[in-house]
Each structure stands twice: as C-alpha cells, then as structure tokens.
Amino acid sequence: MVLDNVKHSAADGPLGDIAYLVRSDHRVSVLVVLSDCPQGRDELCERTDVSSSTIRRTLGEFEKRSWVCKNGHQYEATQLGSFIAEAMQVLIDRVETERKLRDVWHWLPEEFGELSVETWPDLRVTVAEPDFPYRPINRFESLLQGTTRFRCLRPEVSLMEPCFGLLFQLLDDEANITLIDRRACHAYFLSTYPERSAEMIQRDTFTALEHDRLPSHGIGLLDDRVTISCFEKGSGTVRALIDTDSPEVREWAESVYASYRTDARPIDMHQIVG
C-alpha cells in the first residue's frame, strides 16, 4: 500500500519516531488505548493521568504522523497507528522480560538459552534483595504448599531447610517426594534433624537419592509448576528462583531430571552418619 499524501515528520527516520514515543511515559499508552477503541480527550486525560494540554499536543503530533484521526469528539487510531501501537507493545513486553532475566541469566544453565523465547514471558523471577534475602525461599515455599508430587534435583540446604517442616507435613498428607542431592546435604539433615529425617526416610512416599555430579542449579517439579533455583557458587545461598507453568520448560526439566535420576543412588544412612 502506497500513501503518497502522508507527510512525514521532520525526524531522523524510524528512530526519531521511536524516540518521540518513548520520551514520555503516556505516549505509547495513548496510542495503545486508541488502537483498542475511540476515546475523547477527557477520557484520555483520566486514563493516562496527564493534563489536557499535554494530551492535546500528543494527539496533534499523532495526527501529523497519520497515527490517529478525529471522529466527532473522539479520536481513534488509524491502521498505521494500530500497526505502530502493536509493535511498541511487543517491544515493551520483550524489554520487560529481558529486565527480569538479565540479573539471573549468568546463573541459568546453558541449555536454558536453547528454549524458545516464547517461553520467557511466562517466567516468574524472584530475586533475593539485601532487604529481603528470603524472597526466593518464600516464593518456593508458597509453591510447595499443597502439592501432591514433588521431585527435586539439587534441593540444597539453603532452600530446603526453611521448608523442612512443610515437607514433613506434605508427607503426612500422602504427597510423593523424591530428592536427589549431594551426600553432604543429606548428611546435614540426618545429623541436624536425626529423628525427623529417619522417620521421613522410612515413609513409602519419600525417596532420598545421592548423586556425585549435580548441576550448578536446582530443578523442582511440582504438580503445576517447574522451579529453577539459582545458587551462589561456594556458599550455596539461594540468589533467585524462577518458576513457570510453560509446557516447553517442563519438558526440558523432566528430561534433565530423568537423566540424573537414572544414575542416582539410594543413600546409605549408616555410611553417611558414620
């Protein structure tokens, strides 16, 4: 489609229009709103919380670019405006997703980058902050509540110890639990909580396995969600927790878990405690 009557703004090409849109918070919002349904200026002021004069200038600039047109007392997006609004919304969504992941990306397994980018927006990222160091653990505990099947690869002491009582409760509720971890981690629980640990191991629905070469991250498979635990190298502190209900991520996590489950061994309580 060729539009010979369109007057381009004096800009610096496409980047000039993008810069104009993102220079003020309300501009993309206004264009997105108008691409959904016509609005009057007063309605736009109320929805964007900006002044009438600002909305008037914004609509004037949009009209110059043929992004909106006036129909009576209302404005609506043209096909060109809707095209731009959709593209900007996609860009903003992608940047929001990237901002969630950038601080934890170096903790994630390399294979995770091979998953399709369509799975990324579904990821919930919970990062430990200086004022809220237990935020990832609290998120994990909330996900663990009420699950009927829990399988975990490298649970780590820092993640599981705050949830130890909840694990016991889940077993009382007949949940099926399998933990694959390093021998040192199993030894910690057996020595720190000997009676309760021994009782858990006697349960038919609880399985504790050891593996010598676990990944640097943890994987949890719950009823409805998958968790990826990011640990600080050396200390094992929980730095972040990622959880999702993405089928693609679950397929990947199931595959990784199964590969380690094949080589995992039942723990020998006497050997560990001794």
Q: What is the pLDDT of residues 91-114, one digit of tens each?
A: 998 898 888 888 888 888 888 778
Instruction: Please check whether residue 8 lies inside any domain of the structure.
Output: no
Residue 151 · residue 221 · CB < 8 Å: yes
* CA distance linking residue 98 with residue 101, whole number of Å: 5
Q: Which of 73, 96, 119 is the last residue of a domain?
A: 96
Domain boundary among 96, 111, 133: 96
Residue 270 banded pLDDT, cuts 50, 70, 90: low
Convert the pLDDT of each residue in 67-89 to its tens digit.
999 999 999 999 999 999 999 99
Indicate whether 126 and 58 sit together in one domain.
Answer: no
Residue 251 lies in a domain: yes
Is the same domain home to 68 and 114?
no
For residues 152 and 227, what is the distance between their CA atoms, to the nearest angstrom? 9
69 and 144 fall within a common domain: no
Measured in degrees and rounded to the nearest 5, phi and psi for residue 46 equal -65, -40
CA-based torsion, 57, 59, 65, 70: positive or negative = negative
Provide the pLDDT confidence category of residue 6 given band limits of 50, 70 and 90. very low
Looking at the domain assignment, is residue 31 inside a domain?
A: yes
Do 113 and 91 share a structural domain?
A: no
- Find the CATH number of the domain harbouring 268: 3.30.870.10
Of the candidates 73, 80, 78, which has an alpha carbon nearest to the alpha carbon of residue 43? 73
Q: Which residue is listed with tokens 């649970």?
A: 155
| Residue 267 pLDDT level (bands cut at 50, 70, 90) | confident
pLDDT computed for residue 189 by the predictor = 92
How much is the average pLDDT of 261-269? 87
Tell whether 179 and 235 lie within a shared domain. Answer: yes
Taking only the tens place, the pLDDT of each residue in 138-189 is: 999 999 999 999 999 999 999 999 999 999 999 999 999 999 999 999 999 9
Q: How far apart are CA 261 and CA 69, in angstroms?
A: 62
SS3 call for 217 = strand
| pLDDT above 80 for 271 | no
252, pLDDT greater than 90: yes
Tell me the torsion sign for CA atoms 80, 84, 87, 93. Answer: negative
Q: Can you give the pLDDT at residue 241? A: 95
- In one-letter notation, the amino acid at residue 267 is I
Per-residue pLDDT for 2 more than 80? Answer: no
pTM: 0.79
**What whole-number percentage of the chain has pLDDT above 70?**
93
Model confidence band, residue 263 (pLDDT cutoffs 50, 70, 90): very high
Looking up tokens 């077993």 gives 171
In a domain, 144, yes or no: yes
Let me know if residue 2 belongs to a domain. Answer: no
Q: Are residues 168 and 194 in the same domain?
A: yes
> CA–CA separation, 187 vs 182, rounded Å?
9
Say if residue 70 is in the same domain as residue 129: no
Q: Is it the case that residue 1 has pLDDT exceeding 80?
A: no
**pLDDT (tens digit per residue) in 31-62:** 999 999 999 999 999 988 889 999 999 999 99
Same domain, 241 and 168: yes
Question: CA–CA separation, 6 vs 15, rounded Å?
Answer: 18
Residues counted in the chain = 274
Given a cut of 90, is residue 7 above it in pLDDT? Answer: no
Does a structural domain hold residue 5?
no
CA distance 225 to 90: 25
Residues 122 and 73 in one domain: no
Q: From CA 54, how far away is CA 56, in angstroms rounded?
A: 5
Asked, for residue 237, whether it belongs to a domain, the answer is: yes
Sheet bearing 68-71, strands edge to edge? 39-40, 74-77, 68-71
Cα-to-chain-centroid distance, residue 98: 10
* CATH at residue 39: 1.10.10.10
Based on the fold, state whether residues 148 and 50 are members of the same structural domain: no
Residue 97's pLDDT is 87
What's the mean pLDDT in 188-195?
91
Domain boundary among 71, 96, 121: 96
Q: What share of the chain is helix, strand, coil (3-state, %, to 5)?
A: 55, 20, 25
List, in sequence order, every beta strand (DSSP E) within 73-167: 74-77, 124-127, 149-153
- Measure the CA–CA gap between 254 and 247, rounded to whole angstroms: 10
Q: What is the domain range of residue 125?
A: 103-273
Domain-embedded: residue 38: yes
Q: How many domains does the chain have?
A: 2
pLDDT band for 220, please (50, 70, 90 cuts).
very high
Statement to judge: residues 92 and 134 lie in one domain: no
Q: Are 129 and 221 part of one and the same domain?
A: yes
